[in-house]
Amino acid sequence: MQTIAVTGPRQLTSQQRAKAVADLQGLRIYPNWLVGDASGLDELARSIAQTHHLNLQIYEKQSELPYRAQGAERSTRMIKALAVLHGSLHAWPNKTAPHKLRPSRSWSTRAAGSGTWGTIALAVGLGIPVKLHPLVEIDIPLWLQSEQLTIL
């Protein structure tokens, strides 16, 4: 597996930022990174990938879409590309998953505004391996099957 995608929060505390940077530095072994255009975790990942001259594919929001659909559409595009490349998703959640969220092969309306968890649920629904890097102590949803999930 040579390709990873990353997802995480737009806002990070200084402690969360330090953990995310350390984790991302450890992922330099993967030459191909798929990353969104958001601030926060996406921004850190883009910076590290560029610094280390990794093959970086940036997924941008489509401004012609309704604002509330832009992030979900961008993440869906990224995860579907990751599935084709047989990569894995690395995710940095900083809160527990929305209670009603379940894996799906399309974007779930039950993501309740959590792009990170919506992206995780989509990846699981498409059979993509997920590696969690929790930024805070969280309860792992039962739908994250052990054969697809690694907690780091």
Instruction: Per-residue pLDDT tens, the chain, 152 aa: give them.
Output: 699 999 999 999 999 999 999 999 999 999 999 999 999 999 999 999 999 999 999 999 999 999 989 999 999 999 999 999 999 999 999 999 999 999 999 999 898 889 999 999 999 999 999 999 999 999 999 888 655 556 66
Measured CA to CA, the distance from residue 116 to residue 53 in angstroms comes to 25
For the entire predicted model, the pTM comes to 0.93
Measured CA to CA, the distance from residue 41 to residue 60 in angstroms comes to 14
Q: Closest Cα partner for 24 from 8, 39, 10, 13? A: 8
Query: What are the backbone angles phi and psi of residue 47, rounded to the nearest 5°?
Result: -65, -45
**Beta-carbon neighbour count of residue 48 at 10 Å?**
21
% of the chain with per-residue pLDDT over 90: 87
Q: Tokens 């489509």 — which residue?
A: 62
